[in-house]
Amino acid sequence: MDKILELQNLHKYYPILGGVLRREVNAVKAVDGVDLDIYRGECLGLVGESGCGKTTAGKTMIRLHDPTNGHVYYYGKNGGPEGRLDLGFTKRSALKKLGIRGRLQMVFQDPTTSLDPRMLVKHIIAEPIKEQVSLPGRDLEDRIVRLLKLVGLTRDHLLRYPHEFSGGQRQRIAVARAIATDPEFVVLDEPTSALDVSVQSQILNLLRSLQETLSLTYLFVTHHLLVVKYISDRTAVMYLGKIVEIAPTEEIFSRSVHPYTHALLSGIPIPDVEHKPRRIVLSGDVPSPVSPPQGCRFHPRCPFEIERCRNEEPPLEEVSIEHKAACHRKSEVEKLVRKKFGNQVQ
Ligand SMILES: Nc1ncnc2c1ncn2[C@@H]1O[C@H](COP(=O)(O)OP(=O)(O)O)[C@@H](O)[C@H]1O
Ligand code: SF4
Ligand SMILES: [Mg+2]
């Protein structure tokens, strides 16, 4: 499979300013050394508790944020004329000139805040197209109507404002805007979590069918594991700025090895009919990303921590083909879970 993005040791820190001179006194280490390959045509799920750095990672990989350190390599289609490009170190003007900005898009969690309430739908969708090409009015309108149809809306919706729509329809408009520039890669940042349960599955189905029709690659960010199970081919689990486990989605659900992944799966609110329930219940809050714990950053909450975990950070290493985890005890976790929590655990 061809890579579309390759993240190497990616960092994004937000400075904390203090004192009279407003100097940088510390930093929120939102993304703190992420290595990740994303393949063309896949849907990669990114899961983890609130505040673990998912949105920041998504924004940094499409250069909505500048990385603090590390690399985001973008690979053009079929090798592409631009070959491999380091997005973090390419001038924004050059990204625009090469047409790369429009190829990488994002859909945000809440369409109520992501769509400008003073703009007509027609102008909301026209805006990113105009940044890319100059089209005569008629052609522009035809293109917008085609986009509206793709997301299940019609020409009648062109001259309306966002507040005239339901939540689900507003998210359809946000999706139309994101696909307006014919992107290759879209970050979907919790695209259904602000919606009523009844419309969530409609939007998920729309996203799935668009992925197929338009040959899109997705990063699907969510804290909801059942959504990931439904939509993503592979799943990456993030904890305090780092990826702690990554595998094909089926394997995450059936053979996860990281204690944090086990704990997330324990939190699924409805019984998982295929796999028996796990019993690791997370205690305590996520530690502050300003000063993450030494060694394994999950150790203050991990039921299996040993001395090594407090001193040495575990690298993200192969467990089997396509499956990696960052845990010193990864080969024993299954056994440890059984021993500690009994035979309800599979
Ligand atoms: N613009 C910002 N300035 C300062 N800190 C931020 C900013 N955006 C996010 N953060 C902090 O970075 C950390 C990761 O946030 P975020 O990427 O939004 O996580 P998630 O999407 O997983 O909830 C959090 O501690 C959050 O408070
Ligand atoms: S390295 Fe140690 S503390 Fe970290 S997840 Fe593994 S067992 Fe738990
Ligand atoms: Mg977020």
| Residue 51 near residue 286 (C-beta atoms within 8 A) | yes
In the prediction, which pLDDT does 273 show? Answer: 44
Domain edges within the chain? 3-232, 257-341
Among 48, 44, 51, 57, smallest CA distance to 261 is for 48
Per-residue pLDDT tens digits for 299-318? 999 999 999 999 999 999 99
- Range in 17-31, 78-92, 167-181, 201-215 with the lowest mean pLDDT: 78-92
Residues near ligand 3 ion, CB 5 Å cutoff: 55
Nearest ligand to the CA atom of 189: 3
Burial category of 76 from C-beta neighbours within 10 Å (exposed 0-12, middle 13-18, buried 19 and up): middle
Closest CA to ligand 2's atom 6: 327
Ligand 2 neighbours, Cβ below 6 Å, are 259, 296, 298-299, 302, 304-305, 309, 314, 327-329
pLDDT band, residue 21 (cuts 50/70/90)? confident
Nearest ligand to the CA atom of 256: 2
Amino acid at 233: D
CATH superfamily ID and name for 3-232? P-loop containing nucleotide triphosphate hydrolases (3.40.50.300)
Mean pLDDT of 255-261: 95
320 C-alpha vs ligand 2 centroid, how far in Å? 18
Per-residue pLDDT tens digits for 150-198? 999 999 999 999 999 999 999 999 999 999 999 999 999 999 998 998 8
In the prediction, which pLDDT does 132 show? Answer: 85
261 C-alpha vs ligand 2 centroid, how far in Å? 11
In the prediction, which pLDDT does 340 show? Answer: 78
Ligand 1 neighbours, Cβ below 6 Å, are 14, 28, 30, 48, 50-56, 289
- Contacts of 298-306 with CB under 8 Å at 24 or more apart are 298/239, 298/240, 298/244, 298/259, 298/260, 301/260, 301/263, 302/259, 302/260, 303/259, 303/336, 303/340, 304/259, 304/329, 304/332, 304/333, 304/336, 304/340
pLDDT band, residue 81 (cuts 50/70/90)? low
53 C-alpha vs ligand 3 centroid, how far in Å? 7
Give just the sign of the alpha carbon dihedral 10, 16, 17, 23.
negative
343 pLDDT higher than 60 = no
58 C-alpha vs ligand 1 centroid, how far in Å? 11
- 274 vs 119: which has the higher pLDDT: 119
Ligand 1 atom showing the smallest separation from residue 238 Cα: 22
233 C-alpha vs ligand 2 centroid, how far in Å? 26
55 C-alpha vs ligand 3 centroid, how far in Å? 4
Q: What percent of the chain has pLDDT over 90?
A: 76
Within 13 Å, how many C-alpha atoms sit on residue 307's CB side?
0
Within 13 Å, how many C-alpha atoms sit on residue 87's CB side?
26
| Residue 225 near residue 264 (C-beta atoms within 8 A) | yes
Nearest ligand to the CA atom of 340: 2
Q: Which of 306, 310, 329, 334 to mutate to test the pocket of ligand 2 (most atoms within 8 A of CB)?
A: 329
Per-residue pLDDT tens digits for 121-135? 999 999 999 988 888
Per-residue pLDDT tens digits for 51-61? 999 999 999 99
